[in-house]
Amino acid sequence: MSLVYAVHETRSRIREIQANARNGLVSELLNKSTHDSMYLISEKMFESMILALAVNNVTEFDEKLGIYTIYNELVPQLVGEGSTREDAVEQLVEGSIQFAQDYLEHADVYSGIFDGLQQLLISLIILSEGDRNRVREVLKIA
């Protein structure tokens, strides 16, 4: 038994591939022409990967301007400012939603700029579909 499937047989063998995921096995979907691979994993594995993702946010306070800035260490493009830390966090959440929308619009351009972990975090924000509480969870904001 092989866990490597040619992309063209994905449709005909989808039940087998889904069963693999349920049994905790990773299936590789291989495009033999381009040598590109995609991997199908279970929700359990996906959630474990998310938990293992190191998501830290850095807070800095500018004493002269009286402004807090909070940004994500993994994807520093996710950034917020405010006169209080909570205002900065709110702007970080709002800015992350806007960033995700812009990213999705030009994913072909941005995908070459960000590494795999960054892409995973950005994808999780996109999957949050604008739900601010889910974005807070993804960004591990207390």
Partner 1 sequence: MPDSVCQGEFLKFLQRNHFSAKGKHHTLYLGILDGVPRVVTFHYHKDNDEIPTGTLSALARQLGLEKKDLVTRIKGRV
Binding site for partner 1 (CB under 8 A): 58-62, 64-65, 67-71, 73, 76-79, 81, 95, 98-99, 101-102, 105-106, 109-110, 112-114
Nearer to partner 1, 95 or 128 (CB): 95
- Specify burial of residue 122 (Cβ count, 10 A radius: 0-12, 13-18, 19+): buried
Q: Shortest approach of partner 1 to residue 93 CB, angstroms? A: 14
Q: Shortest approach of partner 1 to residue 56 CB, angstroms? A: 12
Nearer to partner 1, 17 or 126 (CB): 126
Entry field: residues in the chain: 142
Nearer to partner 1, 27 or 72 (CB): 72
Q: Shortest approach of partner 1 to residue 64 CB, angstroms? A: 7
Nearer to partner 1, 17 or 121 (CB): 121
Q: Shortest approach of partner 1 to residue 6 CB, angstroms? A: 32
Nearer to partner 1, 46 or 61 (CB): 61
- Specify burial of residue 21 (Cβ count, 10 A radius: 0-12, 13-18, 19+): middle
Q: Shortest approach of partner 1 to residue 113 CB, angstroms? A: 5
Distance CA(55)–CA(37), nearest Å, equals 26
